[in-house]
Amino acid sequence: MNAELPLAQMTLAEKLRAMESLWADLSTRAADDVVPAWHAQVLAERERRLAAGQERVVDWDEAKRQLRRELHEGPGS
């Protein structure tokens, strides 16, 4: 099925209602229907590494600082 919406003619309120309807439908599905199996595998591996002490937790502000530093100075800076 190919659903076409007249986005150019829709008001912002109409677009938001359409998005809300789509999200409501998607959020009622089982996670297995929406999330690929490899996502669960990646998360399980990350949890295993964290529990084993092989990973460290970094808060979001620190993670952003690290990413910005790497972008501006290069990896390993």
* Averaged pLDDT of the chain: 88
Q: Quote the number of domains for the chain.
A: 1
- Asked if the structure places residue 2 within a domain, the reply is no
Contact 13, 26 (CB under 8 A): no
pTM (predicted TM-score): 0.43
pLDDT category at 54 given cuts 50, 70, 90 is very high
Q: Please say if the pLDDT value at position 71 is more than 80.
A: yes
pLDDT at 76 over 80: no
Query: Residue 66: which of 77, 53, 50, 55 has the closest Cα?
Result: 77
- How far apart, in whole angstroms, are the C-alpha atoms of residue 56 and residue 14? 44
Which range marks the domain in which residue 20 is found?
10-73
Q: How large is the average pLDDT for residues 39-45?
A: 92
Is residue 5 situated within a structural domain?
A: no
Structural domain includes residue 59: yes
Mean of the pLDDT values across residues 23-29? 82
Taking the C-alpha atoms of residue 13 and residue 24, their distance in angstroms, rounded to an integer, is 16
Q: In the 8-state DSSP scheme, what is residue 24?
A: H
